[in-house]
Amino acid sequence: MKNANEIKFLKNRSIVKFEGEDFLGEIGIDGRIFKALTLARISVGVISQQAIENGISILVHESDAEKAVACLIDEFEAERKSGKVSQIYSINNVSVIGFVAEDFNKVFAELARNNVFPLLLNQVAGENRVNIVVTSSQDEKTKNIIESEIFKKPKTVHLAIIGHGNVGKTLIEQVLESSDEIKRRKKIDLKVVAVANSKKIAFNKKGFDANWRDEVLAAEHSSDVQELISFSRENQLENLIVVDNTASKDFVKNYHTLAENGFDLVSSNKIFNTLPIEEYRKLRYTLSKNNRRYLYETNVGAGLPLIDTIKLLHLSGENITRIKGVFSGTLSYVFNNFSLRNDKFSTIISEALEKGYTEPDPREDLSGNDVARKLLILARELDLINEFEDISIQNLVPESLLSVSKTEFLSRLDELDEEYQKIKENQEPGHVLRYVGDLHGDLQKDKGELDVKLISVPATSALGQLKGSDSIFEIYTESYGENPIVIMGAGAGAQVTARGVFGDILRVSETK
């Protein structure tokens, strides 16, 4: 005896469509269809009437489709001549999935999230049973989603990791190490099915394992988003997430296309969120229209729960009046050490470079642009329409060294020493230097004031007590007054950033 909850799965079917203006509801139509098809020895699966389309749909085996259309054309010849029946034709390559579910709406919502929209739906009243017809190119995916919803099987989430540098490779290792535990605890089966860099993309439908590097080296597909979209369709992959671990200005141009093709987005790449406000809003519209999510907690503060906190405060109606802090782990290390030690400024920069805290060209950190981008991202979380050019940025590199080569810059680092030694000595007693981002002004208006600059603060203050390469963020609100919400901790590093990205992946997966 079959289990009542068993999913019925029939492939190689066709829908015969029977359309016309005035025959719906006419007595005897169904009987004539059945009789004609029975005489032709054609087995009929489902009959469904669509009042909106003025039509009837009949399900038959694919091998009978042509014959079914021909015999119905003969049976309704008079009605075709009079115009009552406008056309009779078949839609091939479809599959039927029958199942019992107490909450159809949840099942259909999950199907819609994965861009599956049944061609035909036939519900058996009083039995909680429904038959749906989908194209054969989506039938396996549909079956997987329904099974996951009805039998509470682990939900398979397919990940495409773009960028396998420090953060990307660390993330892949974290996913592989944690996947069994996550499957057991959260009923989520994470599979890394694509790994790409700027040149090549590697695919593995079953999910990469510990040998993923070898497969990436052997990859033959060029790194193209259309290749990824085609792969996901051909293999009927559900619950798709693209993870952007690059710093690429080019890859962010694909976000719209990915959202339109069923992918949610997780990104440690800051670039999209600092593009002109028109682009920023256009993506939010695309995401909303396609019921997609885009999470980027690591854009500011690496693994710290900063963006999420600001979003929650803002959505709850809390009036945020100021956000101030040390946004750069690199510059945190530089000024925390320079303030406390007697070493020259150039010595601290060289040390940070050797430890891998700075970019290969330290001017990228010292320019303040990275801090400015992070500050702009937070401003936009408050619905401010500031642009990058609105930010006042104090560049820490002397003008004479801005346009020289990296090699020459590094050889002339000691030219910074005199100026920064003076700044350090001219502070009030008990003060230290910090390079801060500051969002202030009337944040209820369209734009806030954004400053990125070197300041002197009391060593006993929250900013002044910062250690190592930690970041700190002070969030001032109307309710908290002069006492800010302080979020502090490791604000940089591949392990921390990858763990933050992983957290975003899990949050998207749990809401799928």
pLDDT at 151: 83
Residue whose C-alpha is closest to residue 280's, from 160, 379, 370: 379
360-403 pLDDT, tens digit each? 899 999 999 999 999 999 999 999 999 999 999 999 999 999 99
Residue whose C-alpha is closest to residue 23's, from 69, 91, 65, 78: 78
Q: Tell me what the pLDDT averaged over the chain comes to.
A: 92
203-217 pLDDT, tens digit each? 999 999 999 999 999
Cα–Cα dist 225/254, whole Å: 7
Confidence class for position 176, pLDDT limits 50, 70, 90? very high
* Catalytic residue, candidates 141, 155, 374, 512: 374
The first and second tokens of residue 39, run together, are 């005489």
Cα–Cα dist 45/68, whole Å: 13
> Is the pLDDT assigned to residue 65 strictly greater than 70?
yes
Residue 328 Cα distances to 368, 434, 499, angstroms: 9, 10, 18
At 333, give phi and psi (nearest 5°).
Answer: -60, -45
- Percentage, residues of the chain above pLDDT 70: 95
| Amino acid (1-letter code) at residue 485 | I
Number of H helices, E strands in the chain: 18, 19
Which has more confidence, 336 or 1? 336
The first and second tokens of residue 434, run together, are 């910090």
- Percentage, residues of the chain above pLDDT 90: 75
Instruction: Over range 474-503, report the average pLDDT.
Output: 89
pLDDT at 292: 96
155's enclosing H/E stretch is strand 155-162
pLDDT at 52: 45
Highest mean pLDDT (candidates 37-46, 256-265, 349-358): 256-265
pLDDT at 311: 94
Pick from 75-79, 184-188, 251-255, 404-408: least confident: 75-79
> Is the pLDDT assigned to residue 483 strictly greater than 60?
yes
> Is the pLDDT assigned to residue 424 strictly greater than 80?
yes
Question: Is 106 marked active-site?
Answer: no
Instruction: Over range 219-229, report the average pLDDT.
Output: 95
Instruction: Over range 103-125, report the average pLDDT.
Output: 86
Which has more confidence, 511 or 393? 393
Q: Rg for the chain (alpha carbons), in Å?
A: 30
283-311 pLDDT, tens digit each? 999 999 999 999 999 999 888 999 999 99
At 484, give phi and psi (nearest 5°).
Answer: -75, 160
pLDDT at 26: 66
pLDDT at 2: 45
Full-model pTM? 0.86
pLDDT at 41: 92
The first and second tokens of residue 128, run together, are 């909680």
Q: Taking the alpha carbons of 359, 360, 365, 369 in that order, is the dihedral positive or negative?
A: negative
Confidence class for position 1, pLDDT limits 50, 70, 90? very low
